[in-house]
Amino acid sequence: MQSQRPRRNRKNEGIRQLVAQTEIQAKHLIYPVFVCEGTNLEAPITTMPGQSRLSPDLLSKKISEWKKLGLNHFALFPQIAETKKDSRGTEALNDKGLLPQTIKRLKDDHPEINLITDVALDPFSSDGHDGVVENGKILNDVSVEILSQMALKQAEWGTDWVAPSDMMDGRIGAIRKTLDQAGFTDTNILAYSAKYASSFYGPFRDALQSAPKFGDKKTYQMDPRNSDEAVREALLDIEEGADMVMVKPGLPYLDIISRLKEISSVPVAAYNVSGEYAMIKAAAAMKALDEDKAVMETMIAFRRAGASAILTYFAPQVAELLRKQQV
Ligand code: PBG
């Protein structure tokens, strides 16, 4: 007879609830949203079924609904017209641009929410790269200068968190210093520390029409074959002042989340990116799996791996399911 029977702890729902080590709640979620110019405008994103670019007024209305589900954190991604893009991403510093308008509108309507804004040149750059390009090369230090100015502008406009997603060297330290010198000591930094050169960003680049015009992002985003380098990047970012470090993409990189959780003195976030969203949506559309269950399992996997926060396009769906406690 066996004395060791692990199945005893799984024998009914009550026991399974009692011994469960991981949980997910709406408070763990950050919802990445796309903003476009205009009023009362919703432009669906074909490759991300269920997600749209929204004009600031409509986004604000929807946030009223999402708040009721317990969602409180929103990452803003503006879609910039091609005619406003240039090689230095000048539009990123425009006080009258789409991003400052949106931040103001959302903060006026919902002072209690947390806004997270991306610091990288790609949505504003005519080259579609995260930094400044010269002779086919991405210039590090010149880019860091501009990114610091961009972060400062975003802080002035009222963002709660700046999230450098550019992967230039030394940008966290430079941004922290710039913010502090201007008195923005309370603005948090969410560092995209382990951001990989990934094929899973496709739908996001469709949504913002921000794909690189030439080459790829391999000289700054990380090589998917590497793991030690993620530790190095995260430790540097923490030393330079990051308040949270992020791993991106999420699902194919759970090992990295778990490793960073072990070594990090600040919380770790996971970005469940656009391609991961599109995969589940496509599989569900062909009835290959139960979408709600697959989504919740995915969220639990991030939490089990060690993520405190999860950026996910599934945020409203997850929050709704949690409210109904259907999964
Ligand atoms: C911009 C940025 C990207 C994403 C978030 N910030 C695209 C990229 O690096 O090319 C991707 C997010 C997603 O795919 O959901 N630097």
**For residue range 271-308, what is the model confidence (pLDDT) as tens digits?**
999 999 999 999 999 999 999 999 999 999 999 999 99
Specify the pLDDT at position 49: 97
**From ligand 1's centre to the CA of 176, what distance in Å?**
22
- Which among 85, 153, 195, 217 is annotated as catalytic? 195
Please give the average per-residue pLDDT across 231-257, as a whole number.
Answer: 98
Q: How far apart are the first and last CA of the chain?
A: 36
Write out the H or E segment, with its range, that includes residue 319.
helix 315-324
Average pLDDT, the chain: 97
Least Cα distance to 105 among 41, 161, 145, 55 occurs for 55
Least Cα distance to 151 among 106, 126, 121, 129 occurs for 121
Question: Which residues, at least 6 apart from 242, have a Cβ–Cβ distance to it below 8 Å?
Answer: 172, 189, 190, 191, 193, 266
pLDDT tens digits, one per residue of 78-96: 999 999 999 999 999 999 9
Q: Which residues of 82-115 are buried (b: 16+ CB within 10 A; e: fewer)?
A: eebbeebbebbbeeebbbbbbbebbbeebeebeb
Please give the average per-residue pLDDT across 47-68, as a whole number.
Answer: 98
For atom 6 of ligand 1, the residue with the nearest CA is 165
Judge whether residue 327 has pLDDT over 90.
no
Please give the average per-residue pLDDT across 32-57, as a whole number.
Answer: 98
In percent, how much of the chain has pLDDT > 90? Answer: 98
User: Could you tell me the two tokens for 89?
Assistant: 């991403």
**From ligand 1's centre to the CA of 16, what distance in Å?**
37
For atom 2 of ligand 1, the residue with the nearest CA is 165
Give residue limits of the domains in the chain: 23-326
Greater model confidence, 325 or 21 = 21
Please give the average per-residue pLDDT across 216-240, as a whole number.
Answer: 97
**From ligand 1's centre to the CA of 204, what distance in Å?**
6
Q: Is 120 in the pocket of ligand 1 (CB under 6 A)?
A: yes
Judge whether residue 229 has pLDDT over 80.
yes
Q: Is 130 in the pocket of ligand 1 (CB under 6 A)?
A: yes
Q: Is 165 in the pocket of ligand 1 (CB under 6 A)?
A: yes
Top-level class of domain 23-326 = alpha beta
Instruction: For residue 100, report the phi and psi dihedrals to the nearest 5 degrees.
Output: -60, -40
Which atom number of ligand 1 is nearest to the Cα of residue 166?
A: 16
Cα 57 to the center of its chain, rounded Å: 22
Specify the pLDDT at position 326: 63
Mutate to test the pocket of ligand 1, among 48, 201, 214, 253 (most ligand atoms within 8 A of CB): 201
Q: Are 118 and 89 in contact (CB under 8 A)?
A: no
Judge whether residue 219 has pLDDT over 90.
yes
Residue 81 DSSP class:
P
Q: Is 192 in the pocket of ligand 1 (CB under 6 A)?
A: no
Specify the pLDDT at position 100: 98
**From ligand 1's centre to the CA of 174, what distance in Å?**
21
Tell me if residue 287 is catalytic: no
For atom 16 of ligand 1, the residue with the nearest CA is 165
User: Could you tell me the two tokens for 43?
Assistant: 């432009």
**From ligand 1's centre to the CA of 3, what distance in Å?**
51
Tell me if residue 104 is catalytic: no
Query: Whole-model pTM?
Result: 0.97
Confidence class of residue 325 from pLDDT cuts 50, 70 and 90?
A: confident
Q: Which residues of 152-191 are buried (b: 16+ CB within 10 A; e: fewer)?
A: bbbbebbbbbbbbbbbbeebbbbbbebbeeeebeebbbbb
**From ligand 1's centre to the CA of 202, what distance in Å?**
9
Please give the average per-residue pLDDT across 46-68, as a whole number.
Answer: 98
Task: Answer whether the bond into residue 249 is a cis peptide, omega within 30°.
Answer: yes
Mutate to test the pocket of ligand 1, among 45, 77, 165, 192 (most ligand atoms within 8 A of CB): 165
pLDDT tens digits, one per residue of 130-188: 999 999 999 999 999 999 999 999 999 999 999 999 999 999 999 999 999 999 999 99
For atom 7 of ligand 1, the residue with the nearest CA is 201
Tokens 């380098």 belong to residue: 229
**From ligand 1's centre to the CA of 22, what distance in Å?**
28
Judge whether residue 19 has pLDDT over 90.
yes
